[in-house]
Amino acid sequence: MATIETAEKSANGANEILTYESVDISYDGLKVVSDVSFALHEGECLGIVGESGSGKSTLIRAAMGLLGAGGLVTRGDIWYRGLDLPDVPRDEMRRINGEEIAMIFQDAGNALCPSRKIGDQLYESMLEHGNAERAEFTENISRLLERLRFDDTDRILGSYPFELSGGMRQRIGIASAMMMNPKILLADEPTSALDVVAQKDVVEEMKIIKDVYHTSIIIVTHNIGVARELSDTLLVMKDGHAVEYGPTNDVLTNPQSDYTKKLISSVIGLKR
Amino acid sequence: MNKNNAPILSVKNLTKVFKRHGQPDFIAVNDVSFDVMNGECLGIIGESGSGKTTVANMIARFIDATSGSITLFGEDITHAKGESLKNVWRKMQMVFQMPMESFDPRMKLGESIGESLVNSGMSAGDVKNEVTRLLSLVGLSAEFYPRYPHEVSGGQCQRAAIARAIAIRPAMLICDEATSALDVTVQSEVIALLRRLIHEMDMTCLFICHDIALVQHFCDSAIVMQHGKIVERGKPGDIVRNPQDDYTKMLIDSVL
């Protein structure tokens, strides 16, 4: 198994921005994540792959304090700029979430209110993090959407969620996470509910976020193709354990663990 | 009827128009025609909203076709209902995308799998034995008989759904995104299972899937749909290596 040192090298000596140290996570006393360590560096995209129930979503939810009532980080630390996130008070966490660490989910479209226009909803979430004039907001959001290569931003902002396709709603979800220009973007299966064409659009959008905004990204996905396309480093999870960790290319071309080998061989690729 | 030359399923000029309140009609499926031959596995590829599932739902008679015809074993089933529709479903069964949602949550898996056998007049003892056999055929132990859908994983539930579909030994199987909700490792197992069963039970298959790689791996022939129309058809390998239509090219380029 590649160590954290190998991964550090791959990120060209950039600073660690989020560090997991020997993290255990339990739900109602049942351990679901066991002794996981990795580091996310500035500007890096880390992919976490594994199948349902392997603990990959739980891992990134822990950083946001979104484990829910029964969930607890029972051992280890999650460091972000000198703060051990599981110990950060709720009020401080409310400020960090969204402004500094943002998260997007598998179906961001479901998080949108069905009866209000997209522009109104995005403005409201902006107000939660401070004052912004509507005109200034509209200018900023239009610029953001244009950079993320949305066509026809006025129409999108004036639409209700049901007037947009699932893929478009997901891209809006990602754009809304980027409104506060967070340092870290955590993405939990952002393409899994989409067909291949919409998936490609979302992947392209995430690439722009990485290249233009230099946001550090963790993407949780069970799709090896998406991980290969986006991530610099790859962490493979199996039954709550990290079974492999290293530069994406090394892990995919020369997998060390039996599980990673099985995972890669299960992918039914296109024979071009 | 000569099984080798006549198609098992023949779809001619099939069209579905949805009426919308205060808006123009929506043509979900537009003049679609294709044949599925005995033992063939035909893939239907296309992105969300291309009309793939609407085609399947019309063939399975879950919804009425607006125009066109559907012929199964030489019999026109376009407007089948009542007893003749029951007959259609004895020959043709479907596996859906969401395994959990395709089961009655208040019925044990074994009961759901055996329901069609009970309806066909089999005795209770025989049904129990047959369900146990079906479970082992799809790689599940007899322990799964008394379980409820929410008590098993997505992959196990989809295996049970396949057992339910093949229980009355249909000649035709329609798989509507049957593996799309599954993890890659589980997906490859379920695909291997489907392939084995189709071969062993001599079934003909309509395989609806947005993943062109999976269709290439699984199907003998394929059609590509966009906006309710067929834009390309042929052997999956030929389509992938030498796509003729711009939309198909885009679809192939989108595969990561």
**Is the CB of residue A235 less than 8 Å from the CB of residue A246?**
no
Strand partners, A38: A20
By three-state DSSP, how is residue A254 classified? coil
pLDDT band of residue A9 (cuts 50, 70, 90) is very low
For the segment B141-169, the average pLDDT, to the nearest whole number, is 94
Judged against a pLDDT cut of 60, whether residue B146 lies above it is answered with yes
- Choose between B218 and A167: higher pLDDT: B218
**Looking at the complex, does the CB of residue B192 fall below 8 Å from at least one CB of chain A?**
no
Asked if B68 has any chain A CB less than 8 Å from its own CB, the reply is no
The confidence score (pLDDT) of residue A13 equals: 57
Q: What is the CA radius of gyration of chain A?
A: 19
Q: pLDDT-derived band of residue A1, with 50, 70 and 90 as boundaries?
A: very low
Residue A11 has pLDDT above 70, yes or no: no
CA distance B24 to B43: 31
What is the count of residue pairs from A and B with beta carbons less than 8 Å apart?
Answer: 76
CA distance A258 to A263: 9
pLDDT at B1 > cutoff 70: no
Please indicate whether, in this complex, the C-beta atoms of A165 and B187 are within 8 angstroms of each other: no
Output the average pLDDT for chain A: 90
Domains and CATH numbers, chain B: 9-100+172-253 (3.40.50.300)
Complex confidence, ipTM:
0.75
Which amino acid belongs to residue A2?
Answer: A
Interface of A with B in 203-242 (CB under 8 A): 203, 222-226, 228-229
The reply to whether residue A52 touches residue B183, judged by beta carbons under 8 angstroms, is yes
| Share above pLDDT 70 across residues of chain B, in percent, rounded to a whole number | 98
Residue B7 pLDDT level (bands cut at 50, 70, 90): very high
pLDDT per residue as tens digits for the range B77-109: 999 999 999 999 999 999 998 888 999 999 999
For A260, nearest residue in chain B (alpha carbons): B185
- Per-domain boundaries in chain A: 4-266
Share of chain A above pLDDT 70, in %: 95
* Second-level CATH architecture of A4-266: 3-Layer(aba) Sandwich (3.40)
Q: Considering only alpha carbons, which residue of chain B is nearest residue A228?
A: B256
Is A206 within 8 Å of A178 (Cβ atoms)? Answer: no
pLDDT given at position A5: 43
Output the pLDDT for position B4.
Answer: 58
CB atoms within 10 A of CB B104: 12
Report chain A residues whose CB lies below 8 A from the CB of B184.
51, 222-224, 263, 266-268
Packed helices B109-119 and B124-137: angle between N→C axes, nearest 10 degrees: 120
Closest to A195 (Cβ–Cβ): which among B47, B217, B252? Answer: B47
Mean pLDDT over each residue of chain B, to the nearest integer: 93
**What residues of chain A lie within 8 A of the CB of B255, using their CB?**
196, 225, 270
Task: Give pLDDT tens digits for B48-62.
Answer: 889 999 999 999 999
pLDDT of residue A8 exceeding 80: no
- Confidence label for B113 from pLDDT (cuts 50, 70 and 90): very high
Q: Which residues of B33-47 are buried (b: 16+ CB within 10 A; e: fewer)?
A: ebebbbbbbbbbbbb
Relative to beta strand A241-247, strand B41-45 is: unpaired
pLDDT at res. A2: 44
A263 contacts in B (CB within 8 Å)?
A: 184-185
Shortest Cα distance from B141 to chain A (angstroms)?
21
* DSSP per-residue letters across A212-232: HH--EEEEE-S-HHHHHHH-S
Residue B5 has pLDDT above 80, yes or no: no
